[in-house]
Structure 1
């Protein structure tokens, strides 16, 4: 419904110039020259310049000029100045509309170029996650708070390292290019350290050092790190990030919170801050792990109700992981009944490998 409103507005603007000129013509024919309808013909090219290119504005300008000449002759206005003044008004407004349309076209072309560059940057920054990583299947969803946006400060990555499958989902404080730059630093450090660091704490310390070098003015990054090995457990490090959701084989959802949250990345060097403490949660074949940013759980409907993520766990039961995550994303957008107020990133991991001792892989419930 939100997308339909701009389309209806565009349709109205498309036909408005012709409608205005028709009203001017009918009004002049009905009331005669006494009310001075003729100069209002310039509203046609004026409204035409709001949408479309300069050729469309010029066409409506020519039509308005022809209408002005025809009505002027019919009303006998060329025997006095009013007819010529109306023609000058139409020509002047048409010229201004053409100039505005040309300038708008140039700006739109520049904006399209910037968006294209942003899309490339987005693909480099948030490259597609592998469909499979070790015993896991992965799917990802990114929903921008602004329909025209192509890039933001939410981040995610999946790396199959010698130490297990390592995952990060994070949210950079702030917006714009500064947030994108910080996200690039975090992801670059994670992709390198995920292979080098033998334990998750060391990986987190590498990220903290990298982020602290580029952040200032109490900026920070919330993040959750996860490591999935072969022992049917997932190890977490939570840096002030919303807790992940684990969907069990029976369809119930858990939100495992750490014994104590570590400060967000960038604030770890603050005096009195605690060292991050990893914690493990059971994660067996047939179960699912959803990591997300606060744009998901803090999305509100028209009454201000937060999105009930735990109650929507059943939407992840579809056999295909990406289709299941897409269903959850569509439900999130329906909940808000409009654009989100914050970016929302979701990363879904399904444990399909290393089945139980019978050798049968349990299905996703």
Structure 2
């Protein structure tokens, strides 16, 4: 499995400055230029010198402490010829204006320092969460039993919090078993919960003969660790040697099956069930169900970050209509085409992590 398809891509971790960031960088200089122009056009009768403080104020929003200080120095330098033009040199009003620019520049430098410190703190927390997530989300095998497997994992935009998407594929004596899920919440708490879920699956997948037994053992183990009504949506699947696939759905988006003849089926459960972690509150546990899965069929498991991705007009990504893109002989190449189409639909970085796991028979 190509490493780039399974781990967070470098472009997701270190995004290049976008147009908005560049415009913010130019804004302080543009504002001071506009203030100077207005002052000159209105003549010496009206003074706009105090508005030069907008320069360092705007600089503190996105610039460094040094940049903010430079902008403040430029505001001071610009105020002197404007003061001369307005016949204010040596007058009390000019001294008050200079003191105001100096004070606002100092306050803006402090604000910039505090902002940068907070951004570093958030970046460090995100890096820790990403590192933990990489450890949890191990590479899946390209071949599992008689199944060919492909995986695509696309991280959210850098400013979004780490999500709790999880996946695992295990080749057991009972057949190929897999799990895909999404933990409620974001950040390190979500990563910790994902660790409990994956650990429970990795143990139960080899211990239990039936898929229902895997589910029961997972629920028993996970409920002990989930607090504050946290929950996980997930799908369990098992592929044996017949032409069916067994599924068990804890309130997760249903898998899509692309048949050999090109038709697409939604593998919905016979009845809806609550997410994993909520069955202890008296809700009915989900039951396994079987759907046809013959040679030449493909089944796509995914998280809600895929189907909830929106374009500029607010339209959701039509995953069912795009299943025909999975036509390449190489499952991984096919899934990369689908991923590229998803990003094209959004037109930029995703707001939520998006995982897709493809099984081809």
Place the TM-score, normalised by the shorter chain, in its bin: 0.7 to 0.9
Task: Find the aligned partners of 1:186 and 1:26 in 2 and give their Cα distance.
Answer: 63
- Judged with a 3 Å threshold, the aligned counterparts in structure 2 of structure 1 residues 254 and 112 are, in CA distance, closer, same or farther, namely same
- Judged with a 3 Å threshold, the aligned counterparts in structure 2 of structure 1 residues 237 and 350 are, in CA distance, closer, same or farther, namely same
Note the alpha carbon deviations across 1:246-281, whole angstroms, 9 max, x for none: 21222211223344555543344555836x543333
Task: Find the aligned partners of 2:19 and 2:79 in 1 and give their Cα distance.
Answer: 30
Aligned to 2:169: 158
Q: Is the 8 A contact 2:64 2:113 kept in 1?
A: yes
Aligned to 2:261: 250
Note the alpha carbon deviations across 1:185-225, whole angstroms, 9 max, x for none: 11111112222223322211211111221235654333221
Aligned to 1:101: 112
Which of 37, 51, 70 in structure 1 is aligned with 2:48?
37
Give unmatched runs, 5+ long, in structure 2: 1-14
Asked if 1:323 is matched to 2:325, the reply is no
Aligned to 2:248: 237
Task: Find the aligned partners of 1:293 and 1:153 in 2 and give their Cα distance.
Answer: 10
Give unmatched runs, 5+ long, in structure 1: 352-365
Which of 316, 322, 330 in structure 2 is aligned with 1:312?
322
Q: Which shows bigger deviation, 109-118 or 193-202?
A: 193-202
Which of 278, 285, 302 in structure 2 is aligned with 1:292?
302
Task: Find the aligned partners of 1:313 and 1:102 in 2 and give their Cα distance.
Answer: 49
Aligned to 2:357: 347
RMSD: 3.0
Which of 184, 189, 200 in structure 1 is aligned with 2:200?
189
Q: Number of residues paired by the alignment?
A: 346
What are the residue-to-residue correspondences of 1:202-241 with 2, within 5 Å?
A: 202-216=213-227, 219-241=230-252
Task: Find the aligned partners of 2:351 and 2:36 in 1 and give their Cα distance.
Answer: 46
- Judged with a 3 Å threshold, the aligned counterparts in structure 2 of structure 1 residues 29 and 148 are, in CA distance, closer, same or farther, namely closer
- Judged with a 3 Å threshold, the aligned counterparts in structure 2 of structure 1 residues 297 and 79 are, in CA distance, closer, same or farther, namely closer
Q: Which shows bigger deviation, 52-61 or 245-254?
A: 245-254
Note the alpha carbon deviations across 1:99-149, whole angstroms, 9 max, x for none: 111111211211221111111011122223223323223222345666523
> CA offset at residue 297 of structure 1?
4.1
SS in 1 for 2:180: strand
Task: Find the aligned partners of 2:334 and 2:230 in 1 and give their Cα distance.
Answer: 34
Task: Find the aligned partners of 1:279 and 1:155 in 2 and give their Cα distance.
Answer: 22
> CA offset at residue 232 of structure 1?
4.2
